[in-house]
Structure 1
Amino acid sequence: MITNTELEYKGNLYPNQIVQFTQDTDKLYFTTNNGVVLQITILRGSVIRFRYATNYNFEPDFSYAIDPKSTIGYSKLEVEENDTEYIISTARVSVLVDKKTLRTQISDLSGNIICEDELGFHWEENYEYGGNTVKMSKIAQAGECFYGMGDKAMHSNLKGKRVENWVTDQFAYGKDQDPLYKAIPFYIGLSKGNAYGVFFDNSFKTSFDFSHERRNVTSFWADGGEMNYYFIFGPDMAGVVSSYSSLTGTPEMPPMWALGFHQSKWSYYPENNVKEITKQFRDLRIPCDAIYLDIDYMDGFRCFTWDKNHFPDPKRMISELEEDGFKTVIMIDPGIKVDRDYWVYNEALENDYFCKRGDGPLMQGKVWPGECNFPDFTNPAVREWWAELYKEFMTELGVHAVWNDMNEPAVMEVPTKTAPLDTRHNYDGHPCTHRKAHNIYGMQMVRATFDGVKKYVYPKRPFVITRAAFAGTQRYSSTWTGDNVATWEHLWLANVQVQRMCLSGYSFVGSDIGGFAEQPDGELFARWVQLGIFHPFCRVHSSGDHGDQEPWSFGTEITDIVRKFIELRYQLLPYLYTMFYKYTKENMPMIQALVYYDQEDTQTHFRTDEFIFGEKILVCPIQEPNAQGRRMYIPKGNWYDFWTSEPVEGGKEKWVAAELDMLPIFVKAGAIIPKYPVQQYVEEKDIDELLLEVYYKKGTESSEIYEDANNGYDYKKGRYALSNYKLTGKEKSLTIQLFKDGSFETQYDTIRLNFHGLPFAIDTVMLDNEEVSLRNLSEIQDNILQIDKDFSLLHITGKE
């Protein structure tokens, strides 16, 4: 057995005995005889930061991931000392620090060990680059499962896997291929009913081993920087994800049109092709809110330019598209073409904004325009300049949103696919090489884009999309899972990756519906649309190399199926908008994996297919060809079949029929689901009535509906409407109480309630304690009632 008194083992160095302890308010310092300092910071009773320094010196404390607005504070902090250890107590956990080895052990207040060091912190000096490779190993408890880590293309439960975080342009990646486009070094551990999280805030290449090399050990390490991680105690997964989301931030509300259906391809050009596509959407009555222009709209792939042969008057075109309900989204890449006749290149060159190599020359790499230089987005001055470049696009031409691609950064024709490691970066005043800055390069690019778009679409809200991301990028941008493939395996991957991203604090996410590379058949495309309409970001995108991939590209039958489900997306927009509100305000993931929904049920620990859309809708995509149905797991509780209203008991598997035009969807008993009428685009119609689908439950259930002006910032001044419906069902009665907050007045004056599963025929209706004659209600048939939106109490009873 290795002890930390052996200062070196297999090239690794270890802390030895503690010789000094000091406390500075919320920070505790433990110094060892061989110069290791452990700084423990209590952020909350359940959120604790661990930082390790060697040679007595900490690096400057700086992070791109942590949200400056993150809330901190605790109610209790006590430190005790005995012969062998220090004991730190908060209101939620107890932390033991071993005096001989500096190893830590974290327990809940009942004494259950939650997270315990194995070898603990150790390091190895990096002779090639300087600094240390920093390492941490933990004891994996029996039966422990692991989740999170961003866009990993593998089973949702990471036990037995080893993964790496190095943002990579991975075209047509396969199952279990790693790394991909995102670096989110955050995982959730679940053992014996207790969940915790670890966020390793280190932007170097990081690796995680989830009991892969050794069955009882979980470890993580980085090629440089500090061993700097946050421990987050649940004990429920919802608490872990919420605390992590609070730590790294959530986005502001997007414009509602950003939650509509979007159509994209590489590439729609020239202008008449764009107009043909958008006209076909309207002619076929298939709802769509946005059309995307990939790199071919540019003049020779030069960012912030237009090819005037293909788009002679972009301002007019964008305006005409908007009149028909289409927002225009344009692509911007980081590579700036080396061209002395190109104004963006000249500005960056004159202001010394490009990244440089270690010995001074500009970092240069080949991308779509040819040879390019790359702005250093880790420099605040460069971000400010980049934000200003959007002024003409957004203010004068009327572009609505921006899509940042290739921002890993992707570099062609080199083995590494990216910038050389000796590339220098400002890193907001903490100069470093690309080894440290690579994983946050795309994040800082889209941060600058967000700042520019937000400034110049004001008073509207910004919408930005990124391919590359690090932890915290969700504050600035939506994202998608990258260049996938039109295969059934990738349909499965899209489902798992979106669930995993939502568990990793990044909910505004989707996949390229239908697959980017290769060509789907009609069945695969229809099944992918059925999944995609339940993802927060909903966009068809394809390479265009193998044929068309519009909703009408696969014949009338598929077109009708696709239309049916896109229409469902638009009906559910108020529900989806409320999901986004709860994500921004309550840190609640928009898609819930079943293990998040019910971690106590071990059946959920390895489920990959089913997920909860919001809080009330269970979805199970069909992921195999020629399927007439499938077996699926219904989690705890009582549910209703969305299509038939048949009640279903949870906690068991069930065979569900699902021919090509159907998808297994279930609604939680007691839920109240808001619906809008079908629109061809957001705000095409005035909403003169809100439909509420009410699902009976014996007992109590609450549902929320959030509404505002769908754009702009008045909601931050209190001009929103938050309606909380409390449903209470009994054998012969149903009561709905409505509690309202906010000053926003909705367009509609009436609410139509459609009741499902009532065990009685409606006999009397009491509205705000006054009996309403059924003859005076506009409709009382098939369990449908129409009432004023401003009621406070609705009580219906059945016949005795």
Structure 2
Amino acid sequence: MITNTELEYKGNLYPNQIINFKQDVDKFYFTTENGVVLQITVLRNSALRFRYATENVFEPDFSYAISEVASRGYSSLEVDETATEYLILTSKLKVLVDKKTLRIQISDLEGNIINEDEIGFHWEENYEYGGNTVKMSKITQNAESFFGMGDKATHSNLKGKRVNNWCMDQYAYAKDQDPLYKAVPFYTGLHKNMAYGIFFDNTFRTYFDFAHEKRHVTSFWADGGEMNYYFFYGPEMSKVIMGYTNLTGTPELPPMWAMGYHQSKWSYFPESNVKALARKFRKLKIPCDALYLDIDYMDGFRCFTWDKKKFPDPKRMMAELNEDGFKTVVMIDPGIKIDKDYWVYQEAMEKGYFCKRGDGPYMKGKVWPGECNFPDFTNPEVRKWWAELYKEFMSELGVHAVWNDMNEPAVMEVPTKTAPLDTRHNYDGYPCTHRKAHNVYGMQMVRATYEGIKKYVYPKRPFVITRAAYAGTQRYSSTWTGDNVATWEHLWLANVQVQRMCMSGMSFVGSDIGGFAEQPNGELFARWIQLGVFHPFCRVHSSGDHGDQEPWSFDSDVTDIVRKFIELRYQLLPYLYTMFWKYSKYGEPMVKPLVYFDQEDPQTHFRTDEFIFGEHILVCPVQEPNSQGRRMYMPRGNWYNYWDDSMVVGGKEQWVDADIDIIPLFVKEGAIIPKFPVQQYVGELVIKQLDLEVYYKSGIENSSFYEDDQDGYEYNKGNYSYRSFKLNGKENSLAIQQFKDGDFVPSYTSFRLNLHGLPFTIESVEVDNEVVPLNQVKPNGNNVIEVVKNFTQVLIKGK
């Protein structure tokens, strides 16, 4: 073994032998002869935190990423010491700390190594800026795969890749271009069917090398700050992702209309065009819940103002749109125009809320309004002030939601595309430069926006969107994948990026459907819609420079296809709403890559196209032009083709027909899928009967359905309904049990059970042990049954 003494070269410094050890309840401290202190904190039985200090001094323990309500606690904790190492034992993990080198090895209780240091922690003095460049290297296990890391525009499996995290405005980015808009320094490793996760909570520019430079080494490092990372153990990937998401937080439930179809472009103006857009949606009966106003609604791009020539009476306009079921979403950027007659600029100057450079002058940058100053959103006073700026928009004018863009922060006409590194920030009382604050700038801006929107749309729920994000931003906001391009390659990227974001704790995510830059043809637009309706955030957005991208912008055949799939999304809204509830409550990703769904199958480790929507729907977009089908991998199990109910056996790759009006779509056997009737917008109809699509299975399968009043906070007081269904299929019978929790009373009084794949002809139906005459339960054919909504058990018998 190479010793740390032999490795002290090229400016790198390494811990040497441990000379002191102490325990303080759930914290363990190991101090080396050369002044390195390792703090290990046991958060839960399968979650640990590792912090390293040099020169015996830790930095202040402060993080924007960690949720205040993250779970803590463990069932058992022991420590032991041998001649060569310290041993920490929980009920799930065994941690070895080497006495000579401070290196770490983590294994399960059977001794299977999950993760271990190669060189481990080392650092380099940063003589240019001060402080350290902190580094960590791990041994890459045999056949190990890596997933996560936010919006990286590359293959889903990061094995062999090197990436870095620095929020960056990347207009029309290319495949493999890095970095992009978000900094999420979290990845999941998988080997020998054991999954673990590492979250490197460091807001400086961070780098990750997944066996790129050396095949047997995975490493991560940062330009400054502290080596501070969290370790999560599964062994199931689901436990890793949910453990990380619990630590960094989940959002509250958004209003259901935020899950509808949204239409945007740069820009819809004047008012007459916005109203014409709304009329056309309703005339063509294409469902839509929200219309977006980009920066051209403003007076000279000044935030919190209106161009009164384009929009003479925005309050009236938005009220009229709302009457017809359209919510209005407006853009707000961080750059505040330098203009002594502009009230927002005046207030910020008077209060000293703008960022300053290292030598004292205000930080300036050119954005859409021209020269701007930028509020310091890491200052809690600034966030409070910014939140109050939304009062007029939300309370008085009737804006429904806000979209924060350009908040990396993006700055034009400079090579770095952002603020100078010597820009100063308050950082909630821990002053620093932009080197540390850059990656959280957008996060703290949208945090302030969220707090203002939440206050002023109350008692309704807030809906906020951000482009830039750091780990934990999901507590405040939805997001999208930025300024993509109308190409088939970007359709592929949108699919991979959304899956990756969901694996990174940020499930309320989508892409600019159709592409932001350039112009799609009708086929590409139709295929993108087919993918986008299965993303949690569903919005068409384009630059407007190359033509329009409304559903009717192509030929009538494309319009019909687009309508068909938007209608499907609205039918599936109760299923999607249930997905969001599980994400909000448990941190369960809404879109799941196949590797998450079945990590035991090595074929899933390198699949990029297929994904699971929720728990029971398998989606595989067509991503090449002129295709009448595609090859796809069907995960293990039996799957119903959504379009014709044919059964497909999984565990292999196979051809699936999919002409331009079809996306390969499959439902797991045994699933029960709730469906709404088609609505033109959320809340248009008073629903009298709800469909349950029931897919027969020989055996048992569980499904669930969550509902509430779709907005507001009454669900926190018990005014919700959670139905869990247990399906049990046998050769000549099908039993469905329902278990209900919560006080919410929906408008419908009955379920219509649409039975798929029954292997028998129905002879009798019992509802709660009472035989129901067949002429009462089968008004629409042999496999459609109407039952009261609060049934306990339905038993269908046949021959």
Amino acid at match of 1:456: Y
Unmatched tracts of structure 2, length 5 or more: none
**Are residues 1:105 and 2:105 paired?**
yes
For residue 337 of structure 1, what is the aligned residue in structure 2?
Answer: 337
1:697-752 Cα offsets, whole Å, 9 max, x none, are 00100100000000000000000000001000001100000000000000000100
How far did 1:653 drift? 1.1
How far did 1:5 drift? 2.5
For residue 313 of structure 1, what is the aligned residue in structure 2?
Answer: 313
1:399-454 Cα offsets, whole Å, 9 max, x none, are 00000000000000000000000000000000000000000000000000000000
How far did 1:7 drift? 6.8
For residue 246 of structure 2, what is the aligned residue in structure 1?
Answer: 246
For residue 522 of structure 1, what is the aligned residue in structure 2?
Answer: 522
How far did 1:776 drift? 3.0
Amino acid at match of 1:262: H
**Are residues 1:765 and 2:765 paired?**
yes
For residue 374 of structure 2, what is the aligned residue in structure 1?
Answer: 374
Q: For the Cα contact (< 8 Å) 2:238–2:588, is it kept in 1?
A: yes
Question: Quick one: distance in 1 between partners of 2:344 and 2:614?
Answer: 43
SS in 2 for 1:428: helix
SS in 1 for 2:62: coil
For residue 667 of structure 1, what is the aligned residue in structure 2?
Answer: 667
Amino acid at match of 1:398: G
Question: Quick one: distance in 1 between partners of 2:764 and 2:654?
Answer: 37
Amino acid at match of 1:559: T
1:738-767 Cα offsets, whole Å, 9 max, x none, are 000000000000100000000001111111
Q: For the Cα contact (< 8 Å) 2:763–2:798, is it kept in 1?
A: yes
For residue 676 of structure 2, what is the aligned residue in structure 1?
Answer: 676
- Structure 1 runs (4+) greater than 4 angstroms displaced: none
How far did 1:774 drift? 1.1
Question: Quick one: distance in 1 between partners of 2:450 and 2:729?
Answer: 46
For residue 50 of structure 2, what is the aligned residue in structure 1?
Answer: 50
Amino acid at match of 2:445: M
- TM-score normalized by the length of structure 1: 0.99
Question: Quick one: distance in 2 between partners of 1:763 and 1:64?
Answer: 61
For residue 556 of structure 1, what is the aligned residue in structure 2?
Answer: 556
SS in 2 for 1:8: coil
For residue 750 of structure 2, what is the aligned residue in structure 1?
Answer: 750
| Superposition pairs of residues 782-793 of structure 1, within 5 angstroms | 782-793=782-793
For residue 411 of structure 2, what is the aligned residue in structure 1?
Answer: 411
Percent sequence identity is: 75
Q: For the Cα contact (< 8 Å) 1:722–1:741, is it kept in 2?
A: yes
1:662-692 Cα offsets, whole Å, 9 max, x none, are 1100000000000000000000001111100
For residue 215 of structure 1, what is the aligned residue in structure 2?
Answer: 215
| Superposition pairs of residues 102-181 of structure 1, within 5 angstroms | 102-181=102-181
Question: Quick one: distance in 2 between partners of 1:202 and 1:73?
Answer: 24
Question: Quick one: distance in 2 between partners of 1:301 and 1:30?
Answer: 55
Q: Taking structure 1 as reference, are residues 320 and 101 closer, same or farther at Cα in structure 2, changes over 3 Å only?
A: same
Amino acid at match of 2:38: L
Question: Quick one: distance in 1 between partners of 2:108 and 2:763?
Answer: 52
SS in 1 for 2:576: helix
How far did 1:587 drift? 1.2
Amino acid at match of 2:272: N
Question: Quick one: distance in 2 between partners of 1:22 and 1:120?
Answer: 21
| Superposition pairs of residues 138-537 of structure 1, within 5 angstroms | 138-537=138-537
1:248-275 Cα offsets, whole Å, 9 max, x none, are 0010000000000000000000000101
How far did 1:770 drift? 1.2
For residue 60 of structure 2, what is the aligned residue in structure 1?
Answer: 60
Amino acid at match of 1:704: S
RMSD: 0.7
How far did 1:780 drift? 5.8
1:485-517 Cα offsets, whole Å, 9 max, x none, are 000000000000000000001000000000000
How far did 1:782 drift? 3.3
Question: Quick one: distance in 2 between partners of 1:398 and 1:139?
Answer: 55
Question: Quick one: distance in 1 between partners of 2:776 and 2:557?
Answer: 43
Q: For the Cα contact (< 8 Å) 1:732–1:798, is it kept in 2?
A: yes
How far did 1:6 drift? 3.8
For residue 566 of structure 2, what is the aligned residue in structure 1?
Answer: 566
Amino acid at match of 2:80: E
How far did 1:777 drift? 2.6
How far did 1:773 drift? 1.5
Q: For the Cα contact (< 8 Å) 2:267–2:295, is it kept in 1?
A: yes
For residue 728 of structure 1, what is the aligned residue in structure 2?
Answer: 728
How far did 1:8 drift? 2.2
SS in 2 for 1:526: helix
How far did 1:778 drift? 5.5
Q: For the Cα contact (< 8 Å) 1:250–1:474, is it kept in 2?
A: yes
Q: For the Cα contact (< 8 Å) 1:6–1:14, is it kept in 2?
A: no
Question: Quick one: distance in 1 between partners of 2:533 and 2:198?
Answer: 31
Amino acid at match of 2:447: R
Question: Quick one: distance in 2 between partners of 1:68 and 1:223?
Answer: 27
Amino acid at match of 2:520: P
1:240-297 Cα offsets, whole Å, 9 max, x none, are 0010000000100000000000000000000001011111100100000000000000
Question: Quick one: distance in 2 between partners of 1:296 and 1:767?
Answer: 58
Question: Quick one: distance in 1 between partners of 2:774 and 2:431?
Answer: 74
SS in 2 for 1:9: coil
1:220-256 Cα offsets, whole Å, 9 max, x none, are 0000000000010010100000100000001000000
Q: For the Cα contact (< 8 Å) 1:122–1:136, is it kept in 2?
A: yes
Question: Quick one: distance in 1 between partners of 2:442 and 2:89?
Answer: 39
Q: For the Cα contact (< 8 Å) 1:78–1:90, is it kept in 2?
A: yes
Q: For the Cα contact (< 8 Å) 1:592–1:612, is it kept in 2?
A: yes
Q: For the Cα contact (< 8 Å) 1:574–1:705, is it kept in 2?
A: yes
